Structures are given as C-alpha cells and as structure tokens.
Amino acid sequence: MSRPRIDYSLYYVTGRSLLPPAPTSYTGPPGDWYLAHLEQALAGGVTVVQVREKDVDGGEFYEVARRSKEVCDRYNVPLFVNDRLDIACLLKCHLHVGQSDLPARLARQLLGPDALLGVSVNTVDEMRLVLDEGVADYVGIGPCFGTQTKKNLNPIMGPRGVRAILEVLGDSEVKAVVIGGITPSTIPNVLAQTPAPLASGGYRHLDGLAVVSSISAAHDPFTAATELRALFLGRKMLPSWNLNASTAALDEQQLVRNAVDMLKLLREGAHKPLVHHITNQVVMNDTANLTLAFGASPIMSSSPDEAPHLSTLISCLLLNLGTITEQQIASQKIAGEAANRNQKPVVFDPVGVGATEYRKKSASDLLNACHVSIIKGNAGEVGALAGLSEVQARGVDSVGAGFKDPASVVRTLAAREKLVVAMSGKVDYVSDGRDVFAIENGSEWQESITGSGCMASACVPCFPASLSLSLCSTAVALFAGLRHESGSLSAAVAGLVAINVAAELAAERADVQGPNTFRAALIDECFRITPDDLARRAKVKKL
C-alpha cells in the first residue's frame, strides 16, 4: 500500500486555547465546542488538520485526537498528530515531528511505510538533511513571521528565508507548507515572494499554507477557512514568472515606442498619476519638483497613520532608503503592505544599502514586509542586494569599474526576487529576470549633483500607462504609475530613458556652467522634453 497523495493547500494546526467563546446559537456540550468549530473550518475548505497539544497529558491528547479524527473522516480530510508517535499509531493517522522531537528517520521506521510524515525545518541545512534522509513526505517551513501561538525557538525567516529553503527543495517530490504569522494580510506577499527559481527555468512554489490562529481564533471558522483557501488558490492569478519564456515581442524598438506613448499620456494631462514618496530629506524638494515637471502629482508623506488611506488614492508608491530612521522604515512597511493590498506598484530605491549592516537589515526587513515591482539602484546597491562583493559601496556611491557582467547580475537578481531590476551607471541595465536591456543615454553632469540617482528613481512612477516610478529613482516611479500593458519593464525603461535624455538636453544648454545650474536645467528639461525627443534620442539595446 503506497502512502496517500493529499491536498496541502490549507493546513490547519489546531489550537484549543485560542478558541473564542461559543456563540449563543451553539447548544451542544461545552466540551464539544472545539469539535463544532473544527467541523465549520472543514466545511469552509480546510484540507489537512494537525492536532497539536503541548500542555496536556497523554490521555487527554489521545481523546482530542480521536474525536478530531472522527470529524475529519466525515470530510475525508487527513489528520496528523504532532510529535506523539504512539497516538498516531493507535489511531492509524499521520505524524508531524519538529527538530527537537523524535528523529525523522526513527519516526519513519516506527510509523511504517503507509502513513505520511512531516518535518519542521527552519534552515537550509535542515532542509538538506530531510532530503538526504528521504523519509519525509512534506516539510513545514517556518516561522515565516512572528506569532503568539508558539514560543519561537527558531529565528523569524520572512518570505525570502522561506524562498531560500524552497530553492534547496528544488524539484523534489517532497511537499512544502509555510507556517508562522500566515494571515489574510500576509498571504499575498508570501505567495509573491516565496517561489524559488529552478535551473530548469521554472519556479518551486509552496504547496500550501499552514495556519493556527487565523482559524482557531476566528468567530466564524467557515468564512475564515474559505477566505484563506481562496487566497492560496488565487495564486494562479498572480503574474506568471517563467525564466524560459523570453519577451521576444518586447524588443528595444517596442520599449522606446512604449516610452513615447507613456510620455504622450503625461503631456496630454488626461492622466495625472499621484505618486506617494517616502523618501530622504536630501532629495525631497528635487524629486517633488521633478515629479511635477513630468506631469504627475507628488505627495511627500512619511506618516504611518495616513499611508493605508493614501494607498487607495495613489498610482504608485516610491520607497527610498536614504536618510533612514526607525519611524521611516516602519512607515515604509505599512505603506508597502497597503500598496500590495490595493494592487498598487511599489518602486524601491535601496540607497546606500551596502554601506552598513543596519541598512542591509532595514532593506531586508522591508522586502520581507512587502513585494515591490521595481528595484532601482546603482551597482553597489544592486550588488549588496544580490549578495555580491565585486562592486563595493562608499556611502551611497559605488566604487570601482563596475561588474564584469552587469547583465547577468541584474538578470539573476530580478529572477530571484521576481521583479524588475534597474541598475544605473554610465550605462543603465534593466531586466525582468529573462531579458536585459541597456540604456546608453545620460550626461556626466549627473554624477556631479547630489541625489541624481534618487531623481531617476522618482521619474519611473510618473509614467501613467502601467506603473508609477521616480526622477532617477523618481523617474522610474513616475512611469510605473501609468499601468502600461507591458508592465514594470516598460515603466523602468521609460523612466530611465526620460531622465537621461533630459540630462543630455540640459547638458547642451549654454546656461549650464556647473552643478547647480545643471540641476535647475535638468528639472526644466524634464518639463520641456517631448515624445519626439525620446523617439529621436533614445539609445536602448537588447542584450
């Protein structure tokens, strides 16, 4: 008899201590409220149940598990017992063990070949051991986020830590669920960030979500389970990332045409993207003026209290690491989560991320909290996010000649993070994880002013067809707000081409005598630049 193949999509780990009081409509015995609550959850779509009882004696554990199995059997839903091999054997059900419980290899020997066995993992080494032993049917990866339902002895992983384990799991037949802080508000980000790229060109995805309090503490477990399962099944509606699917139809000529079309929309004034900037104090005035110059509307607010409401109004959110404080990072997390909920694009400029460990941690925390559409940074910043040391950072600037193979760097990071990466420099490189485009526009004057990179990021959200970008970073955000059918890639390219062509036009002016006059001329040319200027001067090449 072979072990059953089951649906792991909604894995409910019970928690009797978290149950709400029974409603007045419940007329059964007080001790049976847990079972009634469980049955409602099963009716709502729970596909797997695990009984976890850490603070009761063996007799009580057995009775809870026995009665839970009776309910689960009515719905043809498999039951797992946490840790207690003896009870799993007595009830002929399945077993889950943690790292401090009975070793998985021994558990399999005693459990026999016909029952399913799950193992908790928190590190890539633990995942490798599970694969080497070859006895587990699935792994529970976590904790993804902090949770009050269990005293976490393991470090919080975040979605990117979960992804690292899925990358080790690869195309193995071992299934994977994620646990720890899995709620309706965190699920979209978890599903967006955790898929891990495979050498074959696809991605390894989670097989299910494991929840505790999201169901056990719910007053209406039927509705809670229905919503949770719908969110997981809705992952099929998320953007599909396939590294073998080339954007052959999107060549450099089409990208330039898209940029021209987006600038026309801005110049016509029918669409005026509202771009929310949470940025640094050094560039705030310049990026706000640049956003206005392109025809978009900036709102410069770092208040965490208004971020959720603003998210319903904006076209794009621009997050700039710049002059970071604890309050600013907290505000950026809240704003990013709200943007994800409201399906608004997020552009992230990781200013100086490689300069200090504090900045690296802040960027990692932010990327774990929300999924961004576009990362725009210089070589040092992109290298730090990619975990490379080939290009070093000094403060917010890159040091040295750059990467030997910049196209590979941006492509690999974009594929891993499932977003668009735009890396600025003498030549800008933009990738969606499949294709890479080089932009050879710009002026040496841009290196002479503070915040030129942040201005580029701010340009992207201004462009009204598909996404909103910012000036270097602003330029990117401007175009991201345009919701163009070709998405983040077009927005990033359009924003960078626009700011760089404007820089060329500014540098040609006779009144530019130094950095300060160039800064003013740059904003003027962002205001004056025409679609014909872009079409005539854009230098975009597909690599």
In this prediction, residue 389 has a pLDDT band, given cuts at 50, 70 and 90, of low
Catalytic residue among 316, 454, 472, 526: 472
In this prediction, residue 215 has a pLDDT band, given cuts at 50, 70 and 90, of very high
In this prediction, residue 466 has a pLDDT band, given cuts at 50, 70 and 90, of very low
DSSP per-residue string spanning 212-224 = SHHHHT-SSHHHH
Taking the C-alpha atoms of residue 335 and residue 253, their distance in angstroms, rounded to an integer, is 35
In this prediction, residue 487 has a pLDDT band, given cuts at 50, 70 and 90, of confident
144 is catalytic: no
Task: Say which amino acid occupies 381.
Answer: E
Tally Cβ neighbours within 10 Å of residue 479: 44
- What residues have CB less than 8 Å from 202, skipping those under 6 apart? 242, 243, 244
Tokens of 144: 């993804």
In this prediction, residue 273 has a pLDDT band, given cuts at 50, 70 and 90, of confident
Cis bond before residue 143 (omega within 30° of 0): yes
In this prediction, residue 146 has a pLDDT band, given cuts at 50, 70 and 90, of confident
pLDDT number for residue 486: 54
> Is the CB of residue 526 less than 8 Å from the CB of residue 294?
yes
What's the pLDDT tens digit per position in 38-64?
999 999 999 999 999 888 898 999 999
Domain ranges within the chain, ordered by starting residue: 10-237, 254-542
pLDDT number for residue 467: 41
In this prediction, residue 206 has a pLDDT band, given cuts at 50, 70 and 90, of very high
- What residues have CB less than 8 Å from 472, skipping those under 6 apart? 376, 424, 446, 451, 452, 453, 454, 455, 456, 457, 458, 459, 496, 499
pLDDT number for residue 196: 92
What's the pLDDT tens digit per position in 97-120?
999 889 999 999 999 999 999 999
Instruction: With residue 297 as reference, give the H or E element that holds it.
Output: strand 297-300
CATH class entry, domain 254-542: alpha beta
Task: Say which CATH topology domain 10-237 has.
Answer: TIM Barrel (3.20.20)
Cα angle 9, 14, 19; round to 5: 120
For residues 463 and 426, the model is more confident at: 426
Q: Three-state SS for 378?
A: strand
